[in-house]
Structure 1
Amino acid sequence: MRWTARLAAAGALVAGGVWFLRADPFAAPVANTTAAHSAARTGVAQVTKGTLSARTLQNGTLGYAGEFQVVNKASGTVTKLPAVGQVINAGKVLYRVDGKPVMLLYGAVPIYRSLSWGTEGVDVRQLNAALVALGYATKDELDPDSDYFGRATHNALRELQDKVGLEESGNLSLGQAVFVAAKTIRVLKVNAVSGAQTAAGTVVLQASSTARQVTVELNAGQQSQVAVGDKVIITLPNGKAVPGVVSDVGKVATTSDSGTTIEVKIRPTRPKQTGSLDKAPVQVSIVTDTAKDVLSVPVNSLLALAGGGYAVEVVDTGGKHRLVGVTTGLFDDSEGKVEVTGDGLAEGQNIVVPAS
């Protein structure tokens, strides 16, 4: 394990002719140890009490969640298009064909037919929900869960059409709107050309949501170490740290030259602090386990005893040194500490560590 190599690298201390090695901390402690004075340069640290977190450090990419293709349903000449990077809200004009606006509406079901009084279906339900969400009808006036196109839908749609500059027909003709599964989109790529002919079924542009997201290609063998809800620290290219949480852990592995990986998605909990960089490299520290209200010591204070077992060297009041056998628990990579338990070990005690 990585901690075996790390601890072994800390080196050996010679004390009274007996070798003490800072090495693998997972064996059981040995009782009845005796104190010895080290000839090596040392310093003093304290036994502390609090919360420790185990972490896995990964490389990630900061960007935006979701990617959508906007499929046009109108035929004619493209007369206006959004710019790459432009942010557009649902209920607004996305582009124009023959000078007529095509609206952006929120919904997961692509529009595939004209909708009018008496129409029923899932597409009508998402239209009703969109009209209520945009404020063109209240829930008392129009049930957002209704899949029926009635008077309330007709009246609310007329108001929306008037707002964006369409004929107030109260019917949603095919080509007047596109539904995208994001309430606000950010234009990534424009496929259409202003002045060119377009037809139904043509991809006009590609977009993402405006929600910030970090993607990590995690080694498939580490899948069990990460779970939805795990807390995360994201280190941005400028060195700033931003908190986040794991929102999705992929279940389908992908094999490439770099190995077999799964995709892990992370949602920054303070998205404004991530700025506006897209496809930016970041470092992600994922909290995989937490131990609360435990005693801990610096990792380099651990002593592997010649006869087996592990200990820390406690400095009592008056300067007397003694070894206390310990059992290790959770390692906190970020703090360089390890959870320990042992008879006679208490918060605030001074312990010996290698001099820095």
Structure 2
Amino acid sequence: MRQVLQNTVVFRGTFSNGRTISVTPTSVATTGNGSQPTALLVTGVFVQSGQRVKAGRPLVEYDERPVFALPGTLPMYRDLTIGEKGKDVAQLQKGLGSLGWPTGSDPSGTFGSGTAAAVRRMYAAMGYSAPLTTSADTGSSASAADTANAGAGTEQPGGGIQKSRSSAASRPTKPEPTVMLPVSEAVFVPSLPARVVSVPVQVGDAVKGPVITLARGDMTLTGFFDPSERRLISSGMKADILAEATGVHAMGVVDSVGAIVVPGSGADKTASDSGTTTPQNGSAYVPVRIKSKAGWDKKFADQDVRITITAAATSGAVTAVPEAAVSAGADARTTVTVVTASGTQLVVPVTVGVSADGLVQVTPVRGHTLRAGDRVVVGR
């Protein structure tokens, strides 16, 4: 027979969000706008799941305070204000600069007046007052000097000493409020724009857990391939992806083919920790990473999908016979036995090509003939 042959392989895969970052506010920063709220309540939701968000934009609001993203790989683990030093401060300064708010002459990694001014401008651009904090060290030098002066006196005529009554000694100087960046409002994300994984709150909800979860990278698709067919696929092959549950369809490309993974092994644990859902049947598998040049449709999020890859195909119709009709002799020749009209058997040397669905492409060696419709012997 003559037909187009395609050797396709079909296997399952899952979309995952990779590593994610969640924000759970636990306190409300002080501002110059009056009394502090006594309850944590959601007062605004500005994004939705699947949306891609940029840095320095309010995502969710609680007690009229914003939650927003900034570029950076180091997690936000403390409040930052004047006098703080460290890698997180340097990261903040770099992020502020990339958004158009330079930090002046502050050394890298030192939160000074220039960084405070940049933070204030960032909040103003978002439409909020900058958070404030009162440092215990503010005004400490003045207080120490006033205390020393209070203990001294001025010499009077006759040798007496008149104790001075300093107003500063009787009324200690209050620390002055300074700008801060609260841990409950900012979240550092390595790759921006970031994708919103979930916003599990609505306006009026009490804050009892995460108010938003962001993905640190784009969705990833990992397929789970049978190790016995590992030789059939390689990087660069086109892949057809279908989510049967939703009907969403897309095309992708094989990005990488990994080593065999055995469930329960270290490699399997690493895959699970990175957000990849591994097969439930406990069988060994080969992880196949599929990528999309245009980015995956957000409707694929968390979907189990069918992946189809054409491992080999003929450019047009070819002569094909059942795989069981091809024999390999001791002389390494590959042959097909044809039954002629008179019932005699004729051995025809052939070369083989693409195989699919139990058929294999055959081409007769020069000087021999094999026509569509010829009867062949199967199972010799």
Q: Does the alignment reach a TM-score above 0.5? A: yes
Deviation at 1:111? Answer: 0.5
2:307 equivalent among 280, 284, 295: 284
Deviation at 1:129? Answer: 4.0
How many Å separate the matches in 2 of 1:74 and 1:345?
Answer: 84
Deviation at 1:233? Answer: 0.9
Measured at CA, do residues 326 and 254 of structure 1 come closer, stay the same or move farther in structure 2, by a change above 3 Å? same
**1:75-154 to 2 correspondences below 5 Å:** 75-76=27-28, 77-80=40-43, 82=45, 85=49, 87=51, 88-117=53-82, 119-137=84-102, 147=109, 149=111, 153-154=115-116
- 1:246 — aligned with what? 255
Measured at CA, do residues 341 and 350 of structure 1 come closer, stay the same or move farther in structure 2, by a change above 3 Å? closer
Q: Is contact 2:327-2:336 (8 Å) kept?
A: no
How many Å separate the matches in 1 of 2:363 and 2:50?
Answer: 57
- 1:3 — aligned with what? none
2:22 equivalent among 60, 70, 93: 70
Amino acid at match of 1:112: Y
Measured at CA, do residues 350 and 278 of structure 1 come closer, stay the same or move farther in structure 2, by a change above 3 Å? farther
| Greater strand proportion | 1
- SS of the residue corresponding to residue 299 of structure 2 reads coil
Q: Is contact 2:3-2:316 (8 Å) kept?
A: no
Deviation at 1:160? Answer: 1.8
TM-score, normalised via structure 2 length? 0.55
Q: Is contact 1:250-1:264 (8 Å) kept?
A: no
Deviation at 1:107? Answer: 2.9
- SS of the residue corresponding to residue 93 of structure 1 reads coil
Measured at CA, do residues 306 and 350 of structure 1 come closer, stay the same or move farther in structure 2, by a change above 3 Å? closer
How many Å separate the matches in 2 of 1:311 and 1:226?
Answer: 24
2:223 equivalent among 205, 216, 222: 216
- 1:203 — aligned with what? 210
Amino acid at match of 1:269: K
**1:35-50 to 2 correspondences below 5 Å:** 43-44=1-2
**1:1-356 to 2 correspondences below 5 Å:** 43-44=1-2, 56-61=9-14, 63=15, 65-76=17-28, 77-80=40-43, 82=45, 85=49, 87=51, 88-117=53-82, 119-137=84-102, 147=109, 149=111, 153-168=115-130, 171-183=180-192, 184-190=194-200, 194-196=204-206, 202-208=209-215, 211-219=218-226, 221=227, 225=231, 229-236=235-242, 237=244, 238=247, 240=249, 242-246=251-255, 249=258, 253-254=262-263, 258-262=281-285, 263-271=287-295, 274=297, 276-286=299-309, 297=318, 299-300=320-321, 303-305=325-327, 309-311=333-335, 325-328=349-352, 331=354, 333=356, 343-344=365-366, 351-352=371-372
Measured at CA, do residues 109 and 352 of structure 1 come closer, stay the same or move farther in structure 2, by a change above 3 Å? same
Gaps of 5+ in 1: 1-42, 47-51, 315-321
Q: Is contact 1:191-1:206 (8 Å) kept?
A: no
Deviation at 1:137? Answer: 4.9
How many Å separate the matches in 2 of 1:114 and 1:136?
Answer: 19
- SS of the residue corresponding to residue 41 of structure 2 reads strand
Deviations 1:50-86 (A, max 9, x none): xx9976421223x453252413254151223536526
Measured at CA, do residues 188 and 248 of structure 1 come closer, stay the same or move farther in structure 2, by a change above 3 Å? farther
- 1:17 — aligned with what? none
How many residues align structurally? 286
Cα RMSD for the two superposed structures? 5.0
Amino acid at match of 1:85: S
- SS of the residue corresponding to residue 124 of structure 1 reads helix
Q: Is contact 1:74-1:176 (8 Å) kept?
A: no
Deviation at 1:242? Answer: 1.0
How many Å separate the matches in 2 of 1:243 and 1:217?
Answer: 15
- SS of the residue corresponding to residue 59 of structure 2 reads strand
Deviations 1:84-113 (A, max 9, x none): 526233321122232111212233322112
Q: Which runs of 4+ in 1 moved over 6 A?
A: 293-296
Give the share of equivalent positions with the same residue, in percent. Answer: 24
Deviations 1:8-63 (A, max 9, x none): xxxxxxxxxxxxxxxxxxxxxxxxxxxxxxxxxxx4469xxxxx9976421223x4
Measured at CA, do residues 124 and 333 of structure 1 come closer, stay the same or move farther in structure 2, by a change above 3 Å? farther
Q: Is contact 1:324-1:344 (8 Å) kept?
A: no
How many Å separate the matches in 2 of 1:104 and 1:90?
Answer: 5
Q: Is contact 2:222-2:289 (8 Å) kept?
A: yes
Deviates more, 1:181-190 or 1:302-311: 302-311
Deviation at 1:353? Answer: 6.0
How many Å separate the matches in 2 of 1:228 and 1:125?
Answer: 42
Measured at CA, do residues 186 and 260 of structure 1 come closer, stay the same or move farther in structure 2, by a change above 3 Å? same
Larger radius of gyration: 2
- SS of the residue corresponding to residue 175 of structure 1 reads coil
Q: Is contact 2:65-2:128 (8 Å) kept?
A: yes
Q: Is contact 2:336-2:350 (8 Å) kept?
A: yes
TM-score, normalised via structure 1 length? 0.58
